[in-house]
Structure 1
Amino acid sequence: MSKLSIAVFLAIIGVSLAAGGCRIPKISYGYCEPVMVDYMPRSYIPYGTVVKCHCEPGYEWTEKSNSYECDPYGWQPSTFGECVKLTCPYREPPENGDVTPSQKRYSVNQKIEFSCLPGYSLSGNSEDKCKSNGKWAVNKPVYCLKQCKVENLAPYVTYSPEAKYHDQGTEIYFKCDKSHYHLVGEGKSKCSKGGIWDTDFPICVRKCYTPEIENGGVEDEKDFYLAREYIEYFCNDGYVLDGEDEGQCLGNGEWSHVPTCKVTCPYREPPENGDVTPSQKRYFVNQKIEFSCLHGYSLSGNSGDKCESNGKWAVNKPVYCLKQCKVENMASYVTYSPEAKYYNQGTEIFFKCDESDYHLVGEEKSKCSKSGIWDTDFPICVRKCYTPEIEDGGVGDEKDFYLAREYIEYFCNDGYVLDGEDEGQCLGNGEWSHVPTCKAQCKRPTKPNKGSFEPYQDYYAVGANTTFKCEEDYELMGERVLTCQDGGEWDYHSPKCQRTCPYREPAENGEVTPSQKRYSVRQEIKFTCLPGYSLSGNSKDKCKSNGRWAVNKPVYCLKQCKVGNLAPYVTYSPEAKYHDQGTKIYFKCDKSHYHLVGEGKSKCSEGGSWDTDFPICVRKCYTPEIENGGVEDEKDFYLAREYIEYFCNDGYVLDGEDEGQCLGNGEWSHVPTCKEIILNDSCYGRCGKKDDYFEYTCQCHYRCEKEYNCCSDYRKQCFSNKHNLY
């Protein structure tokens, strides 16, 4: 910016360049003054001077900072604040109330008033005033507390003091406005927090006064009674209530019922298990009563009585109800005589069955005894069972008939057997639980020589089995189980017992086919071995007629050898999956550039293992060709990991390592070349001589007989004397 531009800018913001400072700013309702000692008033402020601005009472500065500094560019910061008139902040109206007037800000000395809505009372200052410092004179919370309202009072209830609304904490008092009404409930109530009365309001209930009863009165008499209360009436001795003995106070002050008292006879006790009609506590003159008994009881004594004018009964003798007997729960088919619903004590009845196929079991008669109980249990009629007919059989201890739950025992004639249970029970319907038949039996079968059968008995029922077996070393020829058929015949002929050969144990790691516990005559067996084993001994044998084996010599399964996991390129002969013990195999490599390393043959020994480790085929390395050089101790070929030593002809030197190793792939680890010696490049005489060549400052790989050379090209120096290298 040019000097002219700066001057124009400073002039705009009120800075005088010629004066060397800033003009003092003018503030309405305020002033700015330098912050410095011994300041002399002048028309401008020097550079670097700081001023602070202040407002007159009743006004406040609008910016956060009131400090400004003068520099060559003017006041910093460049914008000045202002002095504005102080106000008081907005005042929140109380809940359920108002503030008058309601403004965002209030001027100094302005007043506000607080008020509450109808039904609420003000708690706190009712007004406040804005002070010159912009704060409220009181500035304390104001509340509108809910008032209590008296409403829905019951009829005839009044209260004091009377008001439309009552402040919290105020008490009111209740009474009835008429003397013949009584206040029921609390006599006062207090307005509590929340504008709710702390008690329910009372009611006024109409009073009932004690009624007058001639020759009687009221129990526990009081001055008055309230609605729904009861009183109990009574009559003097010799009198009885004509009407209900209780009365209830009604809401209109009247009684529900008021009886009278009349002359009576005393209460008459009904007989036990009987009734008195009518049944009352007292009876009127000339009133009659009748005695009766409950069903099942008979009356003993006068059936009625009458109330005399002197208040006494005409007869006044005891009356009884005696229990009768009733016929009930009679068993089926039982009848009795004489027939009646009830029977007086001492009466007899007689029983019988109403059908000929039934039999009376129990007493034939019964008598009604005291307490109305029959002196015997009632009988029952049981259906008769008659003897069943059984062809070729019968029943033991036969009778004309049998009763329910009785048993009979069945039997069959000789040569026959019961098909079914040997007992039968007579059922309640006249049938038997079971009636068997008699079937023809089978006679005892023929016993085989060297054998037996079970069960062993004279006769066998149809369907019965007998099981045959032979003595040890004998085999059953024929059916093992025979079954008795209808008509008394066996289903098969009796079997025979034939001698057999014993069980043959298979060789270890072998099998016997077939494998049985016993073998029949002329039956053949075959011995075999599991894979990997060879049979030693007879492969077959045969059961002879004397129960012995034709050969009967031990058989063995010898473990064979198996060729597995051969090294690559190794072959063998003769080829087979398994080789018997004692067999030899021969190894070779299947490619000419491989060499067999190891034994050339192996023999299968006892236990099925080879007597030598199998060989491997190793790739051959052939002698490399080196122009103007060769290999020491040359052979036809070399094997992996073998070393050769290279040399060069006279006048040549090796370029590379002087050794090479045969690798597994038939290649050499290193093959050098032979280069011609150039004497002008020799380092002969450069290193000098030492008495002890091991103390050379450089490490020499060779030393010459005449000279010791440590130069890098020592090979050239010593080549002509190579035969003297050591």
Structure 2
Amino acid sequence: MCLVGGLTAPAPLLLLLLLLCPPAAQGDCSRPPEVPNALLTMGDVSSFPEGTTVTYKCKEGFVKVPGKADSVVCLNNAWSELAEFCNRSCDVPTRLLFASLKTSFTKQNYFPEGSIVEYDCRPGYRKDHSLSGKLTCLQNFKWSKPDEFCKRKSCPNPGDLRNGRVSIPTDILYGASISFSCNEGYRLVGVTSSYCSLVDDSVVWSDPLPECQEIFCPEPPEVNNGFILDLRDTYVYQQAIKYRCNEGFTLIGESSIYCTVKGDQGEWSGPPPECKAKQSSATPRTTNAPKGKGTVSSDAAIIATVSTFENPPILPAFIHMASLNTSHNFARRNCELNKTVRQRKGKRDGTESHSFVVPSRFSTI
């Protein structure tokens, strides 16, 4: 006798029964059933012996309902029962810059229509109680638009920077930055910027205000044969010095230079002047005519030129004379300077030329 599927059969029928019922097919299940909104994850498997387990996954846009089974088992040629376990859901709640999801919702991934989640303000932000801190999964399975229900905390007023400026590009709220600069003539010592940052549960500036230190120029350059008026111990930006020359010397160049800055260093605006010795008195030119006596006719007029100097000689001065209507040159002669002045012209060598009309009658010695 042969037992096949719980039934007995005579021996002559055994071969026929084995052909009709192969041993491999006994207890096998057919292909797993279709589940709404779910897909099989069995791959290329084509046979399902007894005890085989097949798992499903939800289609895109659907989420497994927590607590429901997502697999079936082959038992006595049949699959176990499986209820619908995939449902529509909103995605994971929106991540907000100013707030974080409350911990009770962080491990949840199923948010059916009508689900409500709540947020807490992030560090550095404060709650605006006039606005809701909740989001709702809408009928289209999108989250409601969040209000900015958490506002940035404000850092304290940075104050004024002495001899400098504090630049605030936007505001002094959490995350903002400010920068520092010094007035002309000062150098910045410290940081150039500071950030409104978080310390514990408060917001403070990352760095204290810097300092603006006055820039000094080096000692002013000395000048030979001269001196500096009102010499000081120190000189700062835009302060000037003035040079003077000693007696007998002339100042060449700019009489003043001033303290300026280049980068964060002080320097003088230019080189100092020079003090050069004054030129000595020049001897006036004379004619080559020999000394002697001569007369000029009464109708003649004499042009007389006298040379004077920065340090004039004792009068009367020497005069060079020439007749206007003769070719005679006369030897230099002491003449009175109370004659009528006809022309005066300065020269570069420090002398001046004067022309006089001399009476027509003149005798040399």
TM-score bracket relative to the smaller structure: 0.3 to 0.5
Question: Which one has more relative contact order, counting CA pairs under 8 Å at least 6 apart?
Answer: 2
Which TM-score applies when normalising by structure 1? 0.22
- Of the two, which has the highest radius of gyration? 1
Which TM-score applies when normalising by structure 2? 0.37
